[in-house]
Amino acid sequence: MEGVARRAGVAKLTLHRHFDGKEDLFVQVAHRAQLRVRASLDVRIESSASLQQVLRESIERLHDGFTRPEYLDVMRLVIAEGRRFPKLGRAMLDDAKFAARPLVDYLQALKNSGGVDLESPQDAATQLAGLASGAGRYVLVRPSCHPASRRKTVDSLVALFSRAWGVAAERTGDK
């Protein structure tokens, strides 16, 4: 806390007035990182768009948000300090569920209409987010910034989830 106060240019007592301790401070830092990811997802899903189009746009936003260097730095912190501060990991998971809410609602509506074959929209959105985020590998290795790498990741995840959810392939002429 002393080091954080020094870098912030405030007294340690000021930090203690705002945070109950290190764990509370870490939870707030992690929450801010999740808010940035959520902001990238906080766009209205166009219900008239095809599922592949919604998947593609959602995966792109998830991938871009979860591979931001500052987000990955926070994830490394959460992993490193998660044992000492269990509230930290739980807070990140809760924030991630909230961030995926628009996608979960969209999938639930599609499920209700018979447009997709999936058991749990929440689980489906969680799995999609996990894979779009690099399934943890980007915490260890810097993700490629090359557009072709991003496109390949997005294309493969769209194909994977479309097949898994029983969605007919889109005829776009793209290869």
> Is the alpha carbon torsion for 145, 151, 152, 156 positive or negative?
positive
pLDDT for res 173 = 39
Considering only CA atoms, which of 154, 149, 122 is closest in space to residue 53? 154
How much is the pLDDT for 117? 85
Phi, psi of 51 (to 5 degrees): -60, -40
pLDDT, tens digit, for every residue of 99-119?
A: 778 888 888 988 898 888 888
Q: Is the pTM of this model over 0.75?
A: no
Domains of the chain are 2-164 (1.10.357.10)
User: Could you tell me how far CA 74 lies from the centroid of its own chain?
Assistant: 13
pLDDT attached to residue 139: 67
For 124, the token pair is: 């489906």
Find the mean pLDDT for residues 124-153. 81
- Find tokens 């496109």 and name the residue: 151
- Residue that is written with structure tokens 């959520």 in the block: 38
At residue 91, the 3 state secondary structure works out as helix
